Chain A
Amino acid sequence: MPDNGSAGDDNQRGVSTKAVEIVVAAAILMLGLVVMADSHRVGAGWASDGPQAGYFPFYIGLILCGASAWTLWRALFAGQDITGVFVSREKLRLVLSVFIPSMIYVAATYFIGIYVASALFIGAFMYWHGRFPWTKIIPVSLLVPVAVFLLFEVWFLVPLPKGPLETLIGY
């Protein structure tokens, strides 16, 4: 099993390169299987007037599975030269502190609309990462989405995903 600690040249704790390779190769193997399954559903053979629609994606998925299986095998059994830490714990923490709120923001956009979610997102980032005082957070995080709302909904007439608050005021 790959070691998940202080492998390699630097003495920092973090996620080892071998573990990352195994996870990514397994994920892309799954993706290749999905591609092959859907191409088989569409039809991966040869019709009377040429290849069916799923012919090329099927072989693309097959080669994708083969190449990622090769990478997986190499990382699991023949990876003596894959050493080192892929990302150290502090850097991973920094990246995740931006990534996870962004994922929550995208998910929240689906439910409460992009303007309300942007207000919360801007406020949260100003508070956690910018460490601004509340006298600056509240005006900026409220006025910027209002300005963007006016710009897109009222002036440019470009519809963006909206939520229950906007239906309450009639948009």
Chain B
Amino acid sequence: MEEINSLMQGFSVALTYHNLLFMLVGILLGVLIGVLPGLGGANGVAILLPLTFTMPPTSAIIMLSCIYWGALFGGAITSILFNIPGEPWSVATTFDGHPMAKAGRAGEALTAAFTSSFIGALIAVIMITFLAPLVAKFSLKFGPPEFFAVQLLTFCSFVGLGKGHPAKTITAMMLGFALAAVGLDTVTGTLRMTFGTSELLRGFDF
């Protein structure tokens, strides 16, 4: 498999001394950023991008991706200790982590969070490396009927798995669709529901 050759070549570049140092710096910075609520991995990478202007590109990418991974773990630290999720996806860590910290088992919670993140990330990276070409070949067969089927499944599952009354779920969904339909129609070029105002030409974009 030529992926193993590429991997070995990549490892030989990544495991040099200065790249390892950049990894250390990146993870430290990343944990610092992840601990701050509101400043997540993506924002942190964007803010610390100027640090990499004088570095060789491979080292720059290594440091930026380590900042991102560090931020993922930093979010878990505040979730467990302060019940404040540092990242949007650390919210689930607050459900079990903070009660464990209040019961005095904070070290256990942090270790569990780190270990599970590590194993999950390792499996995900291995899967992406080896399965990505196969998934790419399969996704090329997706046409408009398949896209429609996926979206129909999504919206039906909203109604089926929602807690409230289905009428309210459907109302909310249709409200979202109606807001998305405002503006210039990309297929025919007519203006829908702008009622003469020019600010709504682009529609609502949030």
- Interfacial residues, chain A to chain B (CB-CB below 8 A): 25, 28, 31-32, 34-35, 38-39, 42-43, 50, 52-54, 56-57, 60-61, 63-64, 67-68, 70-71, 74
The SS class assigned to the B binding surface is mixed
Q: Judge whether A63 and B193 touch: CB under 8 Å.
A: no
Chain A: minimal CB distance from B99 (Å): 28
B171 within 8 A of A: yes
Q: Judge whether B188 and A52 touch: CB under 8 Å.
A: yes
Q: Which of A28, A32, A54 contacts B192 (CB 8 A)?
A: A54
Q: Which of B175, B177, B191 contacts A28 (CB 8 A)?
A: B175
Q: Which of A42, A43, A64 contacts B178 (CB 8 A)?
A: A64
Q: Could you list 12 examples of A-B contacts with CB < 8 Å?
A: A35-B178, A43-B190, A53-B190, A54-B190, A57-B178, A57-B181, A61-B174, A67-B168, A68-B171, A71-B167, A71-B168, A74-B167
- Report B-chain residues with C-beta under 8 Å of the C-beta of A74: 165, 167
- Report B-chain residues with C-beta under 8 Å of the C-beta of A64: 171, 174-175, 178
Give Cα A31 to B177, complex, Å. Answer: 13
New A-B pairs, 9, CB < 8 Å, besides A53-B185, A71-B171: A31-B178, A38-B192, A53-B190, A54-B190, A54-B192, A57-B192, A57-B193, A61-B174, A71-B168
For B40-51 the 0/1 string (1 means CB < 8 A from A) is 000000000000
Q: Judge whether A28 and B171 touch: CB under 8 Å.
A: yes
- Report A-chain residues with C-beta under 8 Å of the C-beta of B185: 53
Q: Which of A32, A53, A61 contacts B188 (CB 8 A)?
A: A53
Contacting residues of chain B (160-179) with chain A, CB-CB under 8 angstroms:
165, 167-168, 170-171, 174-175, 177-178
Chain A: minimal CB distance from B145 (Å): 15
Give Cα A28 to B195, complex, Å. Answer: 18
Q: Judge whether B192 and A42 touch: CB under 8 Å.
A: yes
Give Cα A42 to B178, complex, Å. Answer: 15
